[in-house]
Amino acid sequence: MATYVLVPGAGGDAGFWRFVEPLLRRRGHDVVAADLPAADDSAGLAEYADAVVTAIGDRRDLVLVAHSLGAFTAPLVCERVPVDLLVLVAAMVPAPGEAPGDWWANTGQVQAEREVRQAHGLDPDAPWDLGFTFLHDVPAEVAAPLAAEGWPAQSGTPFGRPWPLGAWPDVPTRFLLCQDDRLFPAEFQRRVVKERLGITPDEMPGGHLPALARPAELVEWLERYRTGVSGQ
């Protein structure tokens, strides 16, 4: 069996994986859901990687899964511990030397998201809306507390610092996009993943938060990737 290491996106909250973790454990896997110091203005990507490496400890047979902004952290972890497989889910794909804050304009995400808003009859310049962008397909009982409390705090510090790697790590990498993602629309992701990783992403239904909206389906994809690499 494997050790799944789950890296959250912006907000750094390991609770994002709260429905995925028990499903993986039922299949006999060890699971590490990492908390990142996202609210700490002194912490950047290096400190995020430190947090994941510390959480891993001496575990091996690692399948590293990163969501959204977590894809800027996960490759740094691959440089420090032996990772068998890296899976990116609805993720940002960094380029060498690119700061996360520059990624949006560099990739064309800003225009892609504007077009999604327009397609839904919304003002593309309206303030960001948690419900529209993130919670539109999350079950009501899960979405309600998130809507009431807001998204966990995320410092701007890592967005201003260049991604330090000169190339993608030499680790088998898979990408799973979400076809109804309103933050990173599907057609946008297909292009960026092909340009930056040279692979064709796989696709599942749903929005930007599959771990909350479709955890069982997400786990099926993760297991498919794992057995495809390990052969068992």
Q: One digit per residue, pLDDT tens: the chain, 232 residues?
A: 899 999 999 999 999 999 999 999 999 999 999 999 999 999 999 999 999 999 999 999 999 999 999 999 999 999 999 999 999 999 999 999 999 999 999 999 999 999 999 999 999 988 889 999 999 999 999 999 999 988 999 999 999 999 999 999 999 999 999 999 999 999 999 999 999 999 999 999 999 999 999 999 999 999 999 998 655 5
**83 membership: H or E segment, kind and range:** strand 83-89
Cα→Cα distances 206→144, 168, 209, Å: 18, 27, 8
Q: Are 225 and 85 in contact (CB under 8 A)?
A: yes
Cα→Cα distances 123→114, 118, 166, 174, Å: 8, 6, 39, 34
Domains of the chain (ranges, CATH numbers): 3-230 (3.40.50.1820)
Residue 109 CB coordination number (10 Å): 18
Chain centre distance of CA 228: 21
